[in-house]
Structure 1
Amino acid sequence: MKHILIDARFRDGSPGGIQQVVIGLAQGLSQLDLAGNRVTFLLLEGHTAWLEPFLPEQATIACVPTSSAAPSSGGFLARVKAFVRDHFGHLFGQSSIQIPAEPAIVKELNPDLIHFVHQNCFRTDRPFLYTPHDLQHEYYPEYFTKRTVMVRRYLYKYYAERASAVVCISKACQQDVVKYLGVSADKCPVIYNAPVTEGYDQPEDSVLDSVRAKYALPRSFFFYPARSYPHKNHIALVRAVAQLRDAGTVVQVVCSGAPTPYFKQTVLPLIESLQLQSQFHFVGFVSTSELNALYALATALVFPSQFEGFGLPLIEAMRAGLPVMCSNNSALPEVVGEAALTFEAEDVVEIATHLHNLWEDMSLRERLICKGLEHAKLFNWQRSAAQYLKLYDRLAPIKLK
């Protein structure tokens, strides 16, 4: 029997897509025979409820104190230190980078293999899997502080070189890992993500009515589920909607995701300056059941991101029967195949054209829905979890009795 520790130390709702990956992995493992192997999920104290409904029967949870993985922002002095670190920390070089020590509970659990599903790893001498979900900082360093770019480059390479395997969530991600981290492709298996929404039943009418009323949703709308970070490219979407409005076509857009400073400083002021407040609806962070309802209520999914390691909402939307339009960069063409309309992320005219066509042409939407439903079958967590199990079995050392 081998003991696998899956590291998922984060606050409920904080890491967005990575939390969905852990839920999906747990769902997939619960559908498989673990062959007597022991699986433990390492979580933060007080942040376990999000995973408990999906936990495999054979799996357990172990916890570390919340402060050990997610320190609070503190008072004025802590904010000053954070500012100095973020804006001047790069001047101190790589010697200023600290790698966390292995938590005491990990020594007690004594796992045979650790699966880091996010980038906030700790130092360990045990075999481990590492998953750098994307290398966005190599393409858009301007979206990060100089220190963050330095830290990412150092830590990603540090962990990739020491990992037993570097799991990539797309072939595009694998190519980046080989190019920027200097890791052999043989060490970088590709295991695709999949929609966790497949674990939920189709929302009943009462749930749909409740979600529509709660968020005052319009009757028809484009849906964009993404926190408003710069690379999510809400700016181009806003400009495209304004261009359509000026041409006589008024569309509605619903965006989910907890607000960010960039939203308050850049996205919202642009919406207000273009007088689009009545056309954009920001609903904030939503639960998975509410997300399912939003997919069911939407007219189409729009996804103008500048960079993605995978792009999970695309497959979630297809599975839910939504037509999809997305940008054609990074991993996105690989993920959507021929089942979506694609466009250049910075081409506002092209985005506006696709928005107009999807809004007005029902036959186009129906064709994309059919393609999407078929394409989404290629991605499911049972298949991906089985690939992880094979990897665990191959890489975890055999204990001698």
Structure 2
Amino acid sequence: MMLINFSNQIAAGPKNISKNFIEQCLIHKANERFFFIIPDIDDFSMYNDTHSIKFLRVNRIANYFGGAGVAIFVNLFLIPKLLKEYEFRTILAFGNFLLPKFSGTKVVLLHHPYIVDDELFNSVSKLKKLSETIKRLAFRYTVKNVSKIVVQSTYMKNAFVKHYPHEACKVEIIHNPISSAFIGAFSGREANYRKNDTFKLIYVSRFYPHKNHSFLIDVARELSNRKANVTISVTLDLNILGVKDFLNTVEKENLPIINIFELPQAELVRHYSEHNAVIFPSESETFGNPLVEALFFGLPAVVPRKLYTESILGDCGVYYESNDIDSCIQSILKIQNNRDLYLSYSAMSLAHSSLYPNPKTWFDCYYSLLDGNFHEQR
């Protein structure tokens, strides 16, 4: 039996890949049993026990300290208790930390950029840095305790090896999959390109400091000053701290930013189909799921030139200099005003999407790793 800890997977990206994993387990044909620890939230409410899968739900507390408390409870009390009650041969944790002692295979997914991104770590407040230091210490113990560390990109592997050169043999790359909701949804970009219509950008992301939504305010102001026929859609949950202030600024200044709210994957299909390009100003990512989603929809991606964007997009990104408003505006306008260039980037995006796995291939990589038979993606 495999023990899978998804108890802290509540942010949009981690939640979606966790659900991908569960759904693949539900159709998995091998003679394997799975025991999942999942958060007790609506997004996981549809999952019930089967003959080969058991779910244990853990209550979530809606603040940082509550989340830390849950992580401590799961790692120091719940998992050790389960290890005494069940015979597990492997443990997989999506969520950076795996602290209990265990003689079988232990695999953890690192998807918190602050743990290995020193520039991002050093940019935060003293209080935030204290909390991130504690996470770094917990991760340092995790590295010593586990069999393998999974990262989602070459950028993250390099960052890990920089911090843990003596543990380089433990790190493996498994790229995130495209959601099953997106497979087969692309129908061609040429019909959607209209030089004289509004050019619609979309930023699919929750509102966290490193996601850099404030940069969009500056870009939107300049677009308005230039009377550019461009809009930027964002996917923001009004309950997240800072979102209402952001949207109040948008409304007060009448900026071309439209909130379409946080949406499930199935609904995002329509929005990707209706937009002309993706914009993604995030300061740091362990992967960047919306970038790969853009590729599958043949959407050009307007992004800062950073190691994580170059790792995911290669030559098909529409790059601008990080946090440079004029550079970003120029990148947007050059694909808005040049149909052939736009379609060229669109074609490159679609071709580049072939580098990333579908859910089954991705799940098979994890299963092989847990079985000791994995060969790293390149």
Superposed pair shares fold, TM > 0.5 = yes
2:277–2:301 contact (8 Å) kept in structure 1? yes
Map of 2:110 onto structure 1 = 132
Structure 1 alignment gaps of length 5 or more: 74-78, 87-96, 205-217, 397-401
CA displacement 1:221-277 (0-9 Å, x = unmatched) = 210001121211122222122212212313111101324323334x3454356x134
Cα distance in 2, alignment partners of residues 357 and 384 from structure 1:
35
Match of 2:179 among 182, 196, 200: 196
Relative to structure 1, is the Cα distance of residues 298 and 188 closer, same or farther in structure 2, using a 3 angstrom cutoff? Answer: same
Shift in Å, 1:47: 4.6
Match of 1:339 among 269, 292, 316: 316
Relative to structure 1, is the Cα distance of residues 317 and 48 closer, same or farther in structure 2, using a 3 angstrom cutoff? Answer: closer
Report whether the alignment pairs 1:271 with 2:250. Answer: yes
Map of 2:144 onto structure 1 = 161
Cα distance in 1, alignment partners of residues 354 and 231 from structure 2:
29
Shift in Å, 1:345: 2.1
Map of 1:262 onto structure 2 = 242
Which amino acid letter does the alignment assign opposite residue 16 of structure 2? Q
Match of 1:359 among 317, 320, 336: 336
Shift in Å, 1:59: 4.8
Report whether the alignment pairs 1:64 with 2:45. Answer: no
2:220–2:257 contact (8 Å) kept in structure 1? no
1:232–1:305 contact (8 Å) kept in structure 2? yes
Cα distance in 2, alignment partners of residues 183 and 198 from structure 1:
40
Which amino acid letter does the alignment assign opposite residue 178 of structure 1? V
2:96–2:110 contact (8 Å) kept in structure 1? yes
Which amino acid letter does the alignment assign opposite residue 251 of structure 1? V
Which amino acid letter does the alignment assign opposite residue 250 of structure 1? N
CA displacement 1:142-196 (0-9 Å, x = unmatched) = 3351321221111111111111101111111112222224552211011111211
1:165-184 alignment runs, 5 A limit: 165-184=148-167
Cα distance in 1, alignment partners of residues 166 and 101 from structure 2:
19
Relative to structure 1, is the Cα distance of residues 262 and 379 closer, same or farther in structure 2, using a 3 angstrom cutoff? Answer: same
1:305–1:345 contact (8 Å) kept in structure 2? no
Cα distance in 2, alignment partners of residues 58 and 354 from structure 1:
53
Cα distance in 2, alignment partners of residues 48 and 318 from structure 1:
26
1:5–1:41 contact (8 Å) kept in structure 2? yes
1:4–1:112 contact (8 Å) kept in structure 2? yes
Shift in Å, 1:289: 0.8
Which amino acid letter does the alignment assign opposite residue 148 of structure 1? S
2:106–2:148 contact (8 Å) kept in structure 1? yes
Which amino acid letter does the alignment assign opposite residue 337 of structure 1? G
Map of 2:220 onto structure 1 = 241
2:8–2:95 contact (8 Å) kept in structure 1? no
Relative to structure 1, is the Cα distance of residues 250 and 10 closer, same or farther in structure 2, using a 3 angstrom cutoff? Answer: same
Report whether the alignment pairs 1:23 with 2:2. Answer: no
1:303–1:327 contact (8 Å) kept in structure 2? yes
Cα distance in 1, alignment partners of residues 347 and 45 from structure 2:
32
Cα distance in 2, alignment partners of residues 226 and 173 from structure 1:
19
Match of 2:257 among 274, 280, 283: 280
Map of 2:190 onto structure 1 = none
Map of 1:231 onto structure 2 = 210
Map of 2:124 onto structure 1 = 143
Shift in Å, 1:27: 4.8
1:302–1:326 contact (8 Å) kept in structure 2? yes
Map of 2:364 onto structure 1 = 386
Cα distance in 2, alignment partners of residues 301 and 369 from structure 1:
11
Relative to structure 1, is the Cα distance of residues 223 and 45 closer, same or farther in structure 2, using a 3 angstrom cutoff? Answer: closer
Relative to structure 1, is the Cα distance of residues 58 and 160 closer, same or farther in structure 2, using a 3 angstrom cutoff? Answer: farther
Map of 2:194 onto structure 1 = none
SS of equivalent residue, structure 2 residue 355:
coil
Relative to structure 1, is the Cα distance of residues 165 and 338 closer, same or farther in structure 2, using a 3 angstrom cutoff? Answer: same
CA displacement 1:358-396 (0-9 Å, x = unmatched) = 223222221112111111111113322222122111189
Number of residue equivalences: 351
Map of 2:192 onto structure 1 = none
Cα distance in 1, alignment partners of residues 270 and 319 from structure 2:
25
Shift in Å, 1:314: 0.8
Report whether the alignment pairs 1:39 with 2:23. Answer: no
Match of 1:302 among 279, 290, 300: 279
Relative to structure 1, is the Cα distance of residues 290 and 203 closer, same or farther in structure 2, using a 3 angstrom cutoff? Answer: farther
CA displacement 1:65-102 (0-9 Å, x = unmatched) = 41xxx2355xxxxx9xx69xx9xxxxxxxxxx886323
SS of equivalent residue, structure 1 residue 119:
coil
Match of 1:115 among 89, 92, 95: 92
With 294-303 and 182-191 compared, the bigger mean Cα shift is at 182-191
CA RMSD of aligned residues (A): 3.2
Which amino acid letter does the alignment assign opposite residue 234 of structure 2? C
Relative to structure 1, is the Cα distance of residues 10 and 59 closer, same or farther in structure 2, using a 3 angstrom cutoff? Answer: farther
Structure 2 alignment gaps of length 5 or more: 188-196
